[in-house]
Amino acid sequence: MKFPILSDIASTEVISVNIEDSTSKAIEQMLMHEHRHVVVIGENCNYIISIINILDLKEKKITLETPLSNLKLQEIPSINKNKNVLDAVEYLSDNVEYICVTNDDGSIYGILTHTDITSNIDPETLMENYRLQDFLTLGHKMKWVNKNEKISDLISDMVDSAYDNVIVVDDDLKPIGILTTKDIMMLIKTQTDLNVAVKAHMSMPVDSIHKNASIKEAVNFIKKKHYKRVIVVDDDGKLTGIISQKELISLTYSKWVILMKEYQEELCEINSLLLNQNKEYENMAFTDSLTGLYNRRKFSDLYLSSFLAFKQRHNEMSLIMLDIDHFKKVNDSYGHDVGDEVLVKVAHTLLKSFRNIDIVCRWGGEEFIALLPTASLDNATILAEKIRVHIEELEIDLVGHISASFGVAQVSEDDEMQKVINRADKALHLAKESGRNCVKTQNDI
């Protein structure tokens, strides 16, 4: 499930004023662009001024030439445009209607509203058996009034409760119209008498949706009608509740968050299993199952990377090959299980004897190979001799003592891997021909 990126859904046509501008300029911008809110750009943060704020000033008889910096405006949160919708939902609390979407440098990219979020909700993700009537208690923030109530009596209540609209009902509680703060602003601008019944200036008709409608149907309804709320009625057409965009978003994304959390937990578990399997498969592909040493394939890969570093740094590098003496006789006399025990003990001896930077590999059968970065031919020969002694000192059940023969070669910058191995192999054969249990180098060939 993929959530849309904020830069793709935010409204980039931002209507704004400066914090030092007057309130009257904010009103001009609202009316000119038919917006209920205007962004106020401050020095370190941004604010929002709404029609509710203007009505509050009128109630308190504060002059409209007052600078916006003198008003107590609501600060609006900011979020980077590269975040997704899910990152923004947590900001849309009861007191936050807008979010500033910012560029990487902190400048305003756009504004994110409930409408932007709702327009990008996929109703298919919702449970279709969720009905509006199950959530009507959420609509406590909406207000309805009788058609005969006076507009002048509503203003204080709308300011105190931050309502941006009221639903108008008749005497039978059937919704017949709506009055918004924008309507009131226009009445104030035209100096219309507000001491009249709401029905005189309400917008009508008003669309409603049945309480048995699903959340999916409600979201589609809002998208189609471009509304900010759904008015819910019963079988008789009477008002049973009002649910805002915000509450639908909360329902929708709560479900999405639950699903995403479940998916994330499942994916984490799957990824963990796959990671463990990949490590297991990698070990199987690159290590010898008996001794745990690298196999030929892995040795070739590591040789190439070591050779590249060797050429770049112009230092030294050597290679050692060794073969367990008379190993066929061990297998023939004691069986392959004992032969495997010999191979494992030799492998452990090699791991303890070589440095951490050395690359040790079972080359095949009873033959082993090691690459020694930064080691000269002389140093590699000294190490080979020490390992020869360690192997000779091993005591293995039934078999007793064993020995090994060694061939050492130095890597040069124009060498291919096989050429170095061939020189070490020739030195190893010389050690075999010289009576075994000894070390020979490419200089002895």
| pTM greater than the 0.75 cutoff | no
Domain boundaries, the chain: 6-118, 123-251, 296-444
pLDDT of residue 281 exceeding 90, the answer is no
The fold of 6-118 is CBS-domain (3.10.580)
Q: Could you say which of 13, 28, 366, 413 is catalytic?
A: 366
- CA 258 from chain centre, in angstroms, equals 16
Residues with Cβ within 8 Å of 54's Cβ and at least 6 positions away in sequence, in order, are: 23, 26, 27, 30, 64, 185
Mean of the pLDDT values across residues 394-416?
A: 94
CATH number of 123-251: 3.10.580.10
Q: What is the DSSP letter of 135?
A: G
Q: 296-444: same fold as 123-251?
A: no
Banded pLDDT at 54 (limits 50, 70, 90): confident
Banded pLDDT at 386 (limits 50, 70, 90): very high
Banded pLDDT at 55 (limits 50, 70, 90): confident
| Beta strands across the sheet bearing 46-50 | 16-18, 37-41, 46-50, 74-76
pLDDT, tens only, 126-157: 555 567 776 665 444 457 889 999 988 888 77
To the query of whether residue 59 is one of the catalytic residues in this protein, the response is no
Least confident of 76-85, 212-221, 432-441: 212-221
CA quadruple 194, 198, 203, 204: dihedral, nearest 10: -160
Give the Cα separation of 31 and 78 in Å (integer).
25
Cα dist from 218 to 79, 134, 207, 322, 382, whole Å: 28, 13, 12, 78, 83
The fold of 296-444 is Alpha-Beta Plaits (3.30.70)
- pLDDT score, position 12: 87
- pLDDT score, position 198: 92
Banded pLDDT at 2 (limits 50, 70, 90): low
